[in-house]
A and B are shown apart, each in its own frame.
Chain A
Amino acid sequence: MVSKALVAASTKPIILSILVRGEDYGYQIIQRVKEISGGTLEWSDNMLYPVLHRLESDGFIVSRWKISDGGRLRKYYELTELGRTELETERSQWMDVHKALARLWELLPARD
């Protein structure tokens, strides 16, 4: 179980990183996250969708409805240029924090 604060902080970079690989839809994003995290991150619908909407209104992602071959209607999201830029920003921020922690926990040499 990951703390709520961590989950909240990590949703944006995770979503953007998943979408950089190609467009995807909500339900599938949740499945991928569960897979990649080895089951520790199990996002719920009430957590994901509001975030998706916010990301969209900020202009980082765009959505469109598509009908699958099985006849199902799904809302697909994909990354915009702005989103790619934002992803880079997020990544460098995370890496900064990660490096600090990694040094503190002796995972990295302290100051190289």
Chain B
Amino acid sequence: MFDLENGIRKWRRALQKNASLREGDIADLESHLREETARQVGSGLDEEAAFRAALARSASSDVLGAEFKKSLPRRGGRAASRGSLNFLAGLFPGYLRQALRRMVKHKGYSLINVLALTVGIAACGLVLVYVLFETSVDTYHKDVDRIYRVGLYRKTAQGEDVLAGNYTPLAPALKEQYPQVEYAAQLASGGFEPQPVVYRDKAFKEANIYAASPDLLRILDIPLLRGDPGDALERKNTILLSERMARKYFGLEDPLGKTVRIDDKDYVVTGIVGDPPANTQVQHDILKSFKSELETEEYLQGWNPGIAGVMTLVKLKPGVDAAEFEGLIRDLPAKYAGEALKKMGAVNLMVLQPLKKLYLYESTMESLRPSMKLVYLYIFSAIAFLILVLACMNFINLATARSAGRAAEVGVRKAAGAERHQLIFQFLGESLVVAFVALSLAVFLILLVLPVFEGLARISLDGKALLKPVFAASLLGLTLFIGIASGIYPALFLSAFRPAAVLKGRLRTGLKGVRLRRTLVVAQFAISITLIIGTLLIAGQIGFMRGQPLGFAKEQRLVINFRTWAMMENNYETAKSELLRHPDILAATACSGVPGKGINRTYYYPTGLQAEKGLALRSLRADHDFFRVFDIPVVAGRPFQKDAATDTYGALVLNEQGARAFGWATPDEAIGKTLTDRPIPVIGIIRDFHWWGLQRPIEPMVVQVAPNLFRYIAMKVITKDLPGTIAHVKAVYDRLFPGEIFEYFFVDEAFDRQYANEVRMGALFRIFTGVALFIACLGLFGLASFMAEQRTKEIGIRKSLGASVPGIVVLLSKEFTKWVLLANLIAWPAAFLVGKKWLENFAVRMPMPWGLFLLASVLALAIAGLTVSYQSFRAATANPVDSLRYE
């Protein structure tokens, strides 16, 4: 088969060898050759013969060269005779102007490109901000590479874990005995509830209260702005305030030397420290000296292996090998608490944890958990990358699809003497211009949206964060990357056009173009559908968790809390009976905690089996009404009874898990058995219920009537007049505890707050999915409009032959529909794999919701359909006369 293009190519190459023939001259000759060939074909010859005939009529390369050369000296005009470099330099400002002019001329397509890129860059910028913040937490301290937390690894017959807290006397012991340690500090948080802080007329509840030893200021970057560095945190009952705390309570007054009352104790202010930045886990608004706590809290004395509630931070001397040092201190627990540990059958080891890693490998005051934060960081970074890819794909698709329109321009430039690499630079330059225009808009968008985003992602930045060179450089680099990545393929593609190439309606390379376009659209929708499934999955799992039975009744349970145990211990009976006087309060119980709130662990073991079966269980203290208030069924034995005197302090109730953990196969088996060496009998077993949100499994639990540790009264309330009922509760409270701050909450609200993290992530996911879908649809919109434009003639003909508008819309939309359906093939497996992995983090998870997958696909199809059909409709309803007129 004769290939005309091939023949012409060969002919061109021969001419190009002649130095006197410029590209522009060859362009003219090629145009002429094609015309002649067409004429010969018209008079009956086949293409090959026609071509040869046309060639014959044209002169040989030498003659042509000579003729053109003859006119050479007279050539003086315009761009033709300039060298490449001159050409480039001369046209550079022209490039810019031209690029901008082009953008304005093709407003529609330019808008789509710029919009898609702007949104893409903005999304990436926000994720960048988020990532930069999260990775900067507690990494700014001076010499942070030498700072470690000493964690406590515990292994018992029941399992192993690593705690954030450690033995109380550890820090001073380390500093004293190990020359490798430069500083060592104790840090304890203030408990589960905020404490009341009072100075004169200012009384608030504060949560950011810590107790710390003096070395903390030498380990963490906490600047002491006022006060004696030698005295800070040294003496008993002294505190340091942050600047903002000082302002809050003292206004313009000088706080130094003044006395502040925190939770029934007086403290003297001996210094002011700088405000804690947002990116530190220790929000040191109020720092009490650790010595104060040591004296009052009995449980903090000595090397007590049951208590690991004090964080120990160390700063090693320069040059000390951390692994070596860890080896040295590893067995300290055995040294100091060996006896007790052996009795418990537990092994404790010291572990060095670098401070830098503590945030993303999250910990609570209780134990170290691999953090969802890091997982989400990865997920969102991946999503941002995908969105960027989407935007680039848009650009490539639109640029190549519309390439036919630029063929003339390429022809002109080449005819004027441009070489291919110049054209490549020109097109690349154009895409960079688009990218940078998008960047400027994106920056505005980011600034606009930042406050909302900060709220959602639970980060807060000072304005300086955005100016950080890392951020600006990354954003610039990103834009450059996008500009080049999007622009390189179209640049290569477009610059390959030869002037006077015959364009038969669709590009001869049209077939290749279609495959690329299809691949890109499929990829875009695969990504979008995966994201939609992800969003639905998160929402689904949250809904599932919220809908699951918890094993106790959480609605309509009103709770008030008491600041001190002392308040409760002596008054709870009175309080309860007064409260129950209200007809809408059906039952009340005093307890140490309610589901959803904090709960400690206490160490228990079956009598005589301390080493083999010792276990730290969740330990709830509650009176005999607890199970009734929360509708928790007793499955074996009996609940606590008011009239049984020994039930107070002298009886224990376990949940089913607790019974199993101690080795009793059935609940009935556990009844009558005793725990600890006192011994205390197990009198009843309750059904397992979820204390925590369903992300966490049910843990073994023990319940004891221990009024000395009650802090809450929980009430079952069924009322049509809630404010009235609460007023009654407040009245009782105020009467019994004049001067105390009254606070209440509902169990269902507090419980639901445990899902806050997932809800937040769900919101962020929704946003990014929306962005991705938006970009994909923009691309589809542009593509559809272009393809419809291409086929106006065809549509015109069809309509004049009687095709209906819906018929044409279907025809035009069919192809895109196929592509979106194809995208599902990729999206479903991807979403399934990732979704499965994510769900594994939840103790209670919903079954893989195939219905949601279907929903996502239908949604994507619907949106794509809408997008395409708008264009198809417009094309279909265009007047056929208009499109046929130009024939």
Contacts and interface: CB of A to CB of B under 8 A. Distances in A.
Question: Do A and B assemble together?
Answer: yes
28 contacts: A25-B31, A27-B32, A44-B59, A45-B32, A45-B57, A45-B58, A46-B59, A46-B67, A46-B68, A49-B28, A51-B71, A53-B68, A56-B77, A57-B77, A59-B77, A65-B408, A67-B407, A67-B408, A71-B504, A71-B505, A72-B31, A72-B35, A73-B407, A73-B411, A73-B499, A73-B501, A75-B28, A75-B415
B76 A57 contact: yes
A32 interface: no
Interface residues of B, number: 39
Nearest to A72: B502
Contacts of A53: 25, 68, 71, 75
Nearest to A28: B35
B500 A26 contact: no
A47 B67 CA distance: 7
Nearest to A56: B77
A80 to B, nearest CB: 12
Nearest to B59: A46
Chain A interface bracket (under 10, 10 to 19, 20 to 34, 35 or more) = 20 to 34
A92 B831 CA distance: 83
Nearest to A27: B35
Interface string A88-111: 000000000000000000000000
A38 interface: no
Interface string B444-486: 0000000000000000000000000000000000000000000
Interface in A48-83: 49-54, 56-59, 64-67, 69, 71-75
Nearest to A63: B415
A50 B408 contact: no
Nearest to A47: B67
Interface in B851-887: 886-887
Contacts of B411: 65, 73
B503 interface: yes
Contacts, number: 90
Contacts of B887: 69
Contacts of B415: 65, 75
B27 interface: yes
A73 B503 contact: yes
B68 A50 contact: yes
Contacts of A75: 27-28, 31, 415
Contacts of B412: 64-65
A59 B415 CA distance: 18
Interface in B181-238: none
Contacts of A51: 71
A46 B58 contact: yes
B702 to A, nearest CB: 86
B509 to A, nearest CB: 14
Given A72-B503, A73-B500, 16 more contacts: A25-B31, A27-B31, A27-B35, A45-B58, A46-B59, A49-B28, A50-B70, A50-B71, A64-B412, A65-B408, A69-B886, A71-B503, A72-B500, A73-B31, A73-B411, A74-B31
Of listed B57, B77, B78, residue having the most chain A CB within 10 A? B77
Interface string B501-518: 111110000000000000
Nearest to B76: A57
Interface in B488-533: 499-505
B148 to A, nearest CB: 72
A39 B63 CA distance: 23
Nearest to B887: A69
Contacts of B29: 45-46, 49
Interface in B19-65: 25, 27-29, 31-36, 57-59, 63-64
Q: Which 3 pairs between the two chains have the least Cβ-Cβ distance?
A: A27-B35, A46-B59, A71-B503
A73 B38 CA distance: 13
B75 A57 contact: yes
A45 B36 CA distance: 10
Nearest to B81: A57
B581 interface: no
A10 B608 CA distance: 126
Contacts of B74: 54, 57-58
A28 B63 CA distance: 22
B67 A26 contact: no
A26 B28 contact: yes
Interface in A9-52: 25-27, 44-47, 49-52
Nearest to B69: A50
Contacts of B504: 71
A27 B500 CA distance: 13
Contact of B64 (A46, A67, A69): A46
Interface string B70-87: 110011111010000000
